[in-house]
């Protein structure tokens, strides 16, 4: 918690959360390693190349994909570009204030970016139009609608789901114009699901998918971006530490949760 943030979860509630965890219990009756219900709604914006709404209990985020043609980076000149940004909208919580992006949103953007980039989910070489001159840029934009904790994991699931739905617009090479609304193919994706899953530590307990209150009590967290048991990105967040044993335990928790999430996401995207 930054010093200038208002702490909303009172200490009595925090105390109760910790006491419940001693008996392996949570306020909403979930197991420690259990996610809330996940609902994915497709095509929330017709103007996006792909978009979803992800609800994780009361937490809700929108993720949209936009594409545009731009010059590639000099290295490599034959690959499309990827940009991930997250915006924490003031409408999603009373704690979010207007103004330039705060660290939380920068971190969410960067963690999701790295999971997708490092796993090579998108075949960026197929997004090259003219080598060294024109490539597609894929923008993944994340907006929070209701923050009841674990925006990070909801955003990661949303990013993967939105990419699966995304189509590539037509590009008029003569007029050098993107013909939005007309499509010429699907987003080139590899067969994988690099979800970012975050394990939180409260006292000696490791939990998944915290609510707002639980997230406030969380002492530290580790976000693991993985698919089919292979880790592609990882970030420990917040002060306090993990022991080596807790890290090992976290990997097991993530692997199990990934399998369950995969089933749920697959079932809803068809």
Partner 1 sequence: MTTKDSNFKRPDGRKLDELREFEAKVGIIPNADGSAMYRSGDTIAIAAVYGPKKMHPQHSQNPEKGTLRCTYNMNSFSVSERIRPGPSRRSTEISKITEWALEPVLMLEKFPNMVVDIHINIIQADAGTRCAGINAAAMALAHAGIPMRDMVSSVSVGKLDKTIVVDLSKEEEDYEEGEGPTDIPISMTHSGNITHFQLDGKIEPKQLMEAIEMAKKACEKIYEVQKKALKDSINMEDTD
Any long-range contacts for 170-174 (C-beta under 8 Å, 24+ apart)?
A: 171/69, 171/129, 173/129, 173/130
78 lines the binding site for partner 1 (CB under 8 A): no
* 110 binding partner 1? (CB under 8 A): yes
Using the contact rule CB under 8 A, the part of the chain among 50-58, 135-143, 180-188, 232-240 near partner 1 is 232-240
Tell me if 230 contacts partner 1 by CB under 8 A: yes
Q: What is the DSSP letter of 43?
A: -
What is the rounded distance in angstroms from the CA atom of residue 248 to the CA atom of residue 246? 5
What residues pair up with 134 in beta bridges, in sequence order?
Answer: 130
- β-strands 50-56, 59-70: how paired? antiparallel
User: Quick one: which of 3, 12, 23, 99 contacts partner 1 (CB under 8 A)?
Assistant: 3
Tokens describing residue 80: 């499309």
Using CA atoms, how far apart are residues 216 and 112, in angstroms rounded to an integer?
21
The binder of partner 1 chosen from 33, 42, 107, 260 (CB under 8 A): 107
Kindly indicate which of the ranges 22-30, 141-149, 206-214, 222-230 contains the residues binding partner 1, using the contact rule CB under 8 A: 222-230
DSSP state of 99: S
Check residue 201 for interaction with partner 1 (CB under 8 A).
no
SS (H, E, C) 98-146: CCCCCHHHHHHHHHHHHHHHHHCCECHHHHEEECCCEEEEEEEEEEEEE
Output the smallest distance, CB 11 to partner 1, in A. Answer: 11
Question: Which of 131, 229, 259, 263 touches partner 1 by CB under 8 A?
Answer: 229
231 near partner 1, judged by CB under 8 A: yes
Q: Which one among 233, 258, 261, 265 touches partner 1, defined by CB under 8 A? A: 233
Contact between 203 and partner 1 per CB under 8 A: no
DSSP run (H or E) holding 65: strand 59-70
**Residues numbered 241-270 forming contacts with partner 1, rule: CB under 8 A:** 241-244, 247-248, 251-252, 255
> In degrees rounded to 5, what are phi and psi of residue 148?
-115, 40
Contact set with partner 1 (CB under 8 A) = 3-4, 103, 106-107, 109-110, 114, 118-119, 220, 222, 229-244, 247-248, 251-252, 255
């Amino acid at each position: 918690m930054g010093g200038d943030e208002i702490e909303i979860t009172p200490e009595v509630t925090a105390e109760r959360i910790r006491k419940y965890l001693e008996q392996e219990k949570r306020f909403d009756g979930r197991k420690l390693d259990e996610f809330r219900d996940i609902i994915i709604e497709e095509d929330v914006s017709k103007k996006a190349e792909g978009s979803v709404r992800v609800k994780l209990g009361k937490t809700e985020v929108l993720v949209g994909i936009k594409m545009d043609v731009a010059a590639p980076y000099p290295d490599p000149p034959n690959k499309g570009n990827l940009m991930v940004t997250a915006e924490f909208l003031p409408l999603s919580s009373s704690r979010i204030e207007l103004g330039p992006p705060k660290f939380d949103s920068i971190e969410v953007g960067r963690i999701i970016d790295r999971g997708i980039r490092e796993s090579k989910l998108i075949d960026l070489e197929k997004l090259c139009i003219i080598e060294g001159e024109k490539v597609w840029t894929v923008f993944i934009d994340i907006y929070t609608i209701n923050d009841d904790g674990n925006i990070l994991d909801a955003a990661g699931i949303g990013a993967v789901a939105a990419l699966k739905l995304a189509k590539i617009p037509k590009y008029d090479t003569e007029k050098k114009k993107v013909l939005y609304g007309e499509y010429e193919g699907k987003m080139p994706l590899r067969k994988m699901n690099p979800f970012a899953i975050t394990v939180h530590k409260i006292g000696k307990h490791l939990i998944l998918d915290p609510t707002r209150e639980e997230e406030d009590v969380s002492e530290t967290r580790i976000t693991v971006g993985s698919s089919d048991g292979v880790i592609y990105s990882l970030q420990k967040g917040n002060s306090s530490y993990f022991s080596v044993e807790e890290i090992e335990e976290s990997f097991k928790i993530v692997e199990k949760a990934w399998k369950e999430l995969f089933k749920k996401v697959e079932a809803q995207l068809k």
